Amino acid sequence: MPKRERDQDVSADTTGLDSLKHDDTQAVLDVIDRLRQEGIEEDVSFPRLVVAGDTSAGKSRVLWRLTGIMLPSGDRVVTRFVVEVVMRPAAESEINIKIRPDPNREKAQLRKLSGFRKRLTSLSDYIGVHEEAAEALGVKDGQTSLLRDVLHIDIKGPDCAPLTILDIPGLIQATSKSVKKEDMLISHELVKLYISDERTLILAIISATNDIVNQNVTEKTREVDPEGKRTLGVITKADVATGKREEAWMQAALNQEINLQLGWHVLVNKIENDEDATLDEIGKAEAKFFENKQYAKLKAEQLGLSALRERLSKLLHDSLVEALPQLEEQFETKREQAQRKLDHLGTARCDPKSQRLFISNISTAFQGRISSAVAGSYIDPFFASDSQPHRKLRAVIESLNLDYAERMRAFGASITIDGFTNKSNLSQDANGAKAKAHADDDDNKPSAMNRQQALKWVEAESQRSRGQELPGTVNPQTVTLLFRELSKDWEARSRAHLDKVWVICHKFVDDLIGDCVGEDTSDVVKKFRQLRLTPKLNRARREAMACLKSLANDERKHPKTYNPLFVVLSEKYRTQRTMKLVNEHVARQNEAFHGYHSVNARQSIDVQALESSIEAAKTKYTDMDRYAAEQTLDQVGACYNCVLYFFIDAVIKQVVERSIVDQITQIVSPAWVSGLSDADMDQLVAEKESVKKERERLERMVQKMTMGLKALKEDLAGYYESSDVSL
């Protein structure tokens, strides 16, 4: 028969879908269409129709009869990429075509294919655009390779029903010279991918020209829909089957071969010897064909495209209504997830005003917590974790300070002189456990001397530094040299303490800024540490070390003290020497009178003899160097202890507290924030491009999901039982 021209404007070609616009589903379809236009289907799947089948099973023909779009057809692998047809009602007719490229393509190809855009006024021009798309995708004549790209056809018109239908590459059953094994595997993978979604209605296209056991689509549909709840079997080319094959297909249509809850449908794809028959002509011929008595066993609703449209209308209605509660739940879940991620990203930081507000909020939180930490107030939940003891900053610093003071009293002097230096309670601990623990942990244990050894050391030093002082008197220069030797380890021990405090403060500040900024904003935390915290902490350490150096240098000069304790200690040491003489005299008298030696036996003492003994001890110093050494050692010991107490306090107050602890409280202060320039703020907290895109995506997600919830609750409230989710 001669070929005839068809009128293929949008209205004429899509009237076949009029029956899909069922009266009681129109409201639902309108809402779903509106949500589709907002892009919600990118995140939440809506019910849609997918045409699946083996190669050359008649899928393209069925799609043409449903949508009016004539896809390439033939007896070989012709559908090499997914074709997605989106039907939307509109006052004006419009056809737009674009390519959604496979994300795995190279960037240059992605950009090129994403730019493929075509706009048609008539569907008669589609075949040419299909070929252009195939060429853009790299499909050559005779090529059978399957692609993962999607050709998206958006059709709008007054007679269009909102519907999404996908035509996917047919299942390849075997390889050949022109069909690669890779193509076969991809075809199976693509089919499974597109029919797996639980909201997808599967139109399993099965050709009557082949036995059902030889058609893989039935196996694939049962893998994803084992109960046949969403699969409708469509038998095509029924007019071709004859004899036993016709009887076998009749059994399948009666649901006796493969049971599908949605059942089976039978179609005649074309009029014999008339390739150019119109949809209306095919419909009339099909109705006449099914008047044959062998089809009397089947219900009228199972035969022909008109009945298929009615079945699809009902299936679509049921699927949409059933999906509404699930859609509401998905909208709410995705909105909550997106909102949580947005909250973690913090306030947007796209301009100076928002950046300053963002930094000010960080400063407020930081200042409050660090002030509490330094004051030792741990009410804030930030301090609650027992697994992070460094957060209780004041407690840790006080512990370090006490340990430092104890160590300095116990091991500060480079020489332990009995009764003079290193007289801490550590040395006097009853069982020695505490002293041993500190001593074992000390890398620089001081040497020890008794008084006689110390006097020899003092005498030797006095002789080396003798000046014009009178014999038997104290040389101030000797006192300086002895004191300098005893205190030479003070700076090193104090520096070690300073480092411990600095490390714990550094750890605390790093932890606190992460909590105040939010670890999900890791780029901002990193910039805060790099541009503000680390430089300020390093500067505080340098200033503390300089302050410590000054204190230590002061003590290397001639020792000075105006502490009355100096006189008290000097007199104490002199009295101790006198009392030693008294005790020795009493012991001798006890031994003479009672025949035993005991310092506790003092029943009778000859006072005159005692005075004579003491006087004799005082006048026995014919060795003036020894006498001077006694006086010098007393003064050095008294001076050392007085200055040590001052030095410990000075290190803790001036070095630790003023140079480190006080400084960290000002690192992120409001005063610092107010002085930041726009450039400083941009460098510190400006969002990465990837973060901006993620924020925009999440904000759009929240907006879309909120819109979806609002549409369901306000426009479709009577179609399902809505939850109490707030908008």
- Local confidence band at 705 (pLDDT 50, 70, 90 cut-offs): very high
Residue 372 has a pLDDT of: 94
CA atoms within 13 A on the CB side of 267: 30
Secondary structure of 565-577 as H, E, C letters: HHHHHHHHHHHHH
Structure tokens at 69: 């779009």
Question: How would you label 665-699 residue by residue, b for 16+ Cβ within 10 Å and e otherwise?
Answer: bebbeeeebeebeeebbeebbbbeeebeeebeebe
pLDDT tens string 13-60 = 444 444 444 455 667 777 887 887 677 877 888 888 888 888 778 887
Q: In what order do the strands lie in the sheet with 82-89?
A: 117-120, 94-100, 150-157, 82-89, 163-167, 48-53, 200-207, 231-236, 264-266
Span 667-695, average pLDDT: 88
The secondary structure of 27-53 as a DSSP string is HHHHHHHHHHHTTGGGTS---EEEEEE
- Local confidence band at 7 (pLDDT 50, 70, 90 cut-offs): very low
Point out the least confidently predicted range of 111-115, 236-240, 430-434, 591-595.
Answer: 430-434
Distance CA 690, CA 227 (A): 44
Q: Is the pLDDT of residue 377 over 80?
A: yes
Q: Is the pLDDT of residue 123 over 90?
A: no
What is the enclosing helix (H) or strand (E) of 395?
Answer: helix 393-411
Structure tokens at 629: 């050494």
Distance CA 612, CA 704 (A): 108
Distance CA 541, CA 558 (A): 28
**pLDDT over 70 percentage in the chain:** 80
Q: Is the pLDDT of residue 70 over 90?
A: no
Domain 356-427+473-590+625-685 coded CATH 1.20.120: yes
pLDDT tens string 262-280 = 999 999 876 655 566 777 7
Q: Looking at per-residue confidence, does 705 or 218 come out higher?
A: 705
Span 346-357, average pLDDT: 84
What's phi and psi for 212, nearest 5 deg? -65, -35
Span 581-602, average pLDDT: 60
- Local confidence band at 499 (pLDDT 50, 70, 90 cut-offs): very high
Residue 622 has a pLDDT of: 54
Distance CA 49, CA 59 (A): 12
Phi-psi region of 243 (alpha: psi -120 to 50; beta: other; left: phi over 0): left
Q: Is the pLDDT of residue 504 over 90?
A: yes
- 339, 705 contact by CB (below 8 A): no
Task: Say how far residue 20 (Cα) sits from the centre of its chain.
Answer: 47
Count CB-CB contacts under 10 A for residue 140. 8
Q: What is the dihedral of CA 649, 655, 656, 661, to 10 degrees?
A: 130
* Domain ranges across the chain: 47-74+170-303, 80-167, 356-427+473-590+625-685
pTM across the whole model: 0.56
List, in sequence order, every residue forming a beta bridge with 117; answer none if it has no partner: 98
Q: Is the pLDDT of residue 8 over 50?
A: no
Span 76-80, average pLDDT: 58
Point out the least confidently predicted range of 349-353, 608-612, 664-668.
Answer: 608-612
Distance CA 533, CA 362 (A): 13
The radius of gyration of the chain's CA atoms, rounded to the nearest angstrom, is 48
- Local confidence band at 90 (pLDDT 50, 70, 90 cut-offs): confident
What's phi and psi for 317, nearest 5 deg? -60, -50
Burial (CB count <10 Å: 0-12, 13-18, 19+), residue 530: exposed
Span 674-703, average pLDDT: 88
Helix (H, G, I), strand (E, B) or coil at 118: strand
- 683, 355 contact by CB (below 8 A): no
What's phi and psi for 50, nearest 5 deg? -120, 125
Q: 550: closest CA among 397, 411, 659?
A: 659
Count CB-CB contacts under 10 A for residue 459. 19
pLDDT tens string 433-482 = 455 445 545 556 788 888 888 888 888 888 787 777 777 677 788 888 88
Residue 17 has a pLDDT of: 47
Question: Which of the four CATH numbers 1.10.150.20, 3.40.50.300, 1.10.1270.20, 2.60.130.10 does domain 47-74+170-303 have?
Answer: 3.40.50.300
Residue 603 has a pLDDT of: 53
Distance CA 119, CA 129 (A): 9
CA atoms within 13 A on the CB side of 542: 6
Residue 663 has a pLDDT of: 93
Structure tokens at 470: 């009178």
List, in sequence order, every residue forming a beta bridge with 303; answer none if it has no partner: 266
pLDDT tens string 606-663 = 666 666 666 655 555 556 778 788 888 888 888 888 889 999 999 999 999 999 999 9
- 160, 192 contact by CB (below 8 A): no
Same fold, 47-74+170-303 and 356-427+473-590+625-685: no
- Local confidence band at 519 (pLDDT 50, 70, 90 cut-offs): low
Q: 85: closest CA among 24, 154, 37?
A: 154
Residue 6 has a pLDDT of: 42
